[in-house]
């Protein structure tokens, strides 16, 4: 596709994103999401979750862009009647595209009956904490630290210790792999 086939009005896009005078990484990500379009982002998520074609590249691109439409698509797949493996992959992918927009969905993931989904959900919380989007006293972490699932509870403790700057305690609290059954069933 040549630039003439798909003209981008960067002036209008900058005005739309309120990035006329200054932009930065977040505005650049938003611009790329708009230029690519929501259908293309949804297709990328579907390719990652479904077929696995080039899935590590797709995952890396989505992680770099962190488009809100990818998080929305991940949530749609989770909330659908898709096979459990697709739902798990959607939440795993959510972990790398998440920002505070996904916060309202996390309690639902942590309450899911599937242990692997709960494990990926606490991974989303970990990513939000690492990005300094939540602190140690955030309700998500407080609830996760009191969770019935020992994996979620231990991981929440590790996150809180890391947020306190206690790296020694955080590293000794890293939970074992969520998959404990010899047949690979969590």
Model confidence band, residue 30 (pLDDT cutoffs 50, 70, 90): confident
pTM value? 0.81
Q: Tell me if 66 sits within 8 A of 95, measured CB to CB.
A: no
Confidence (pLDDT) at 53: 64
Confidence (pLDDT) at 181: 36
> Mean pLDDT score of the chain, rounded to an integer?
85
pLDDT in tens, 87-104: 999 999 999 999 999 999
Is 38 among the domain residues?
Answer: yes
CA angle, 168 then 173 then 175, to 5°:
145
Q: Which residue has the higher pLDDT, 67 or 175?
A: 67
CA 68 – CA 102 distance, rounded (Å): 9
Q: Is the pLDDT of residue 4 over 60?
A: no
CA 140 – CA 131 distance, rounded (Å): 15
Confidence (pLDDT) at 51: 76
Is 146 among the domain residues?
Answer: no
What are 110's two structure tokens? 């942590």
pLDDT in tens, 126-146: 999 999 999 989 999 999 999
The fraction of the chain above a pLDDT of 70, given in percent, is 86
Is 150 among the domain residues?
Answer: no
Give the burial class of 119: count Cβ atoms within 10 A of its Cβ; 0-12 exposed, 13-18 middle, 19 or more buried: buried
Q: How many structural domains does the chain have?
A: 1
- Name the helix (H) or strand (E) containing 123: helix 115-130
Is 183 among the domain residues?
Answer: no
Q: Which domain holds residue 50?
A: 10-133
Q: Is the pLDDT of residue 86 over 50?
A: yes
Is 32 among the domain residues?
Answer: yes
Q: Tell me if 44 sits within 8 A of 61, measured CB to CB.
A: yes
């Amino acid at each position: 596709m040549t630039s003439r086939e798909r003209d981008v009005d960067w002036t209008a896009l900058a005005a739309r994103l309120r990035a006329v005078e200054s932009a930065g990484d977040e505005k650049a990500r938003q611009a790329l999401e708009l230029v690519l379009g929501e259908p293309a982002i949804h297709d990328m998520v579907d390719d990652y979750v479904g077929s696995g074609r080039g899935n590590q590249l797709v995952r890396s691109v989505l992680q770099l862009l962190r488009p809100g439409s990818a998080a929305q698509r991940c949530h749609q797949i989770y909330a659908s009647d898709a096979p459990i493996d697709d739902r798990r992959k959607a939440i795993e992918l959510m972990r790398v595209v998440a920002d505070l927009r996904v916060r309202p969905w996390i309690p639902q993931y942590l309450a899911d009956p599937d242990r692997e989904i709960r494990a990926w959900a606490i991974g989303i919380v970990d990513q939000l904490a690492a990005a300094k989007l939540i602190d140690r006293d955030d309700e998500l972490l407080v609830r996760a630290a009191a969770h019935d699932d020992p994996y979620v509870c231990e991981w929440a403790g590790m996150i809180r210790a890391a947020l306190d700057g206690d790296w020694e305690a955080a590293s000794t609290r890293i939970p074992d792999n969520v998959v404990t059954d010899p047949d690979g069933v969590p």
